[in-house]
Amino acid sequence: MPKIILQDYTKTLRGKTVLDHIDLTLESGGIYGLAGQNGCGKTMLLRAIAGLMTPTTGTATVGGTRVGNGVYAPHVGLVIENVFLYEYLSGRQNLQMLNDLSDHKIGDGELDGWLTRFGLDPADRRPMKKYSLGMCQKVSLIQALMNQPELVLLDEPTNALDDDSVQVLEEEILRMNRKAGTTFVIASHDRASLEHLCTKILRMEAGHLA
C-alpha cells in the first residue's frame, strides 16, 4: 500500500506560488480529508501526489516511487478536475474501454453492478454528451474506484450528486478501505462532509498546510 511523502514541495505557476514548501507524510490505509476554501491549493496538492505536475522545488514520493517529471503514482484512481471521457460514447462504453486497459480488469457483471449501485442503467446507450452533470460525475467516480486501486484521490467528489449517491460513495469508500486497505485522499470545501468519514483532516490555506 502506498505511503505518501512530500518534502519541501513548492510549485510556482506564472509567478504565483500555488503550493508553498509542503511537508507531508500520509501513512497507507488511511482516509484523509483535505479541507479548505476554493482556490487554496487542494487540487494542486492532489495533482502533486498523483505526479501530474513537476515541482519547482522539493519532491513527492508515493509507495517508494518519486513522482513528477512524467512519472505518475502507481495503482491510483483519480477524480481531479474534469476527467477525460468520450462524450460520444455511453458511460458504460467509456468504463469498458478503461477497464480493458487496466491491469486489474473486472468482469461485465461487476461493471454493471457499479453502474447500478450509483443509479445508472447499464443498458443506457445514450452518449455522455446527453448526460446530466450528476450522471457524468457518477461515471467519473466509478472509473476511479472500479479496478482495485491502492490509492484514490478525489477532488470535490460529491459535486452534483444526489443524497442517495453520496451515501453510496461513502459506503464504497469505507468498504474498500476496510476490505483492501485502500488509501483515500479526499478534497472538499465542506469540512462537515469529511468529518464523519475521514481518519484525519488536513486544512489548506493559500498554498500552505495550516
CATH number at residue 205: 3.40.50.300
pLDDT digits (tens, 9 = 90+) for 45-86: 999 999 999 999 999 999 999 999 999 999 999 999 878 899
Per the structure, the count of domains in the chain is 1
Q: Containing domain of residue 119, as a range?
A: 4-209
pTM for this entry: 0.96
Our CA angle for 90, 155, 146, nearest 5°, is 45
Give dist(CA 6, CA 187) in Å, integer. Answer: 17
Take residue 24 and report the three cell numbers written for it. Answer: 507531508
- Report the run of H or E that residue 163 belongs to, with start and end: helix 163-180
pLDDT digits (tens, 9 = 90+) for 75-116: 999 999 878 899 999 999 999 999 999 999 999 999 999 999
Give dist(CA 157, CA 166) in Å, integer. Answer: 9
φ, ψ (nearest 5 deg) of residue 40 = -85, -10
